Structure 1
Amino acid sequence: MNVHCIDEEYVKRVSKFLQYVEQNANSLNGTYFYPCIRCLNQILQDLGNMCDHLFMFSIMRTYIIWTWHGEVLNQPMLRLWQMYQIVSNNIKTVSPSIISQRTLRLRRSYDVLKS
């Protein structure tokens, strides 16, 4: 089975986003809102699940500024739209070592449900 993943630039940006959330956001028992397409900033998850969802489902197209994690709107930050464009334009097959084994299991389950 081919493992579809986002390119290394997306991996780096997701990592920066998760670090920012962990350092700046107020958590509710270690959980946070996050902008994956499936959860739409409506569900609280821990950082591990956030990471999995951002790789499996990508980021909401319309979510341009991360406003749920303590940001100041005029503060320089990565734009989710830029990340979405990277995702849309650069999905490719890469080494499974880039993503965690848990993410691979989730992706396989998702593929089975989808088919």
Structure 2
Amino acid sequence: MSMSKRLACRAVGLARSTYARTPLAHTQEDPDATLRATLREYARTHPLHGFRRAWANPRHDHDMQVNKKKVHRWKEEGLQVRIHHPRKRSGVSSCPQIESDAPHGGVGY
């Protein structure tokens, strides 16, 4: 039938985006599966290293060509390093307290 895609999809009741979508059977497996596995293993053995060291590991140890942006997406894997902020304690100071040598702070009365 000599119909446009838009008209044919409307006649069938199918969204055009669904028609244009590639079926799952024709899509390839995750091309970064080995990289993801390598990053998960590296993050398990080195939990405090950031993504820059994780990017250098597959390049130097496993001789893989790795894009830095792909490794930067490792937040998707839940591998983001949590930054530790020490809790401030009230009443504790790093500098010693100065004691006054006169009453009322040395102000002359």
Give the greater-gyration-radius structure (CA).
Answer: 2
Global fold match (TM > 0.5) = no
TM-score normalized with structure 1 length: 0.26
TM-score normalized with structure 2 length: 0.26
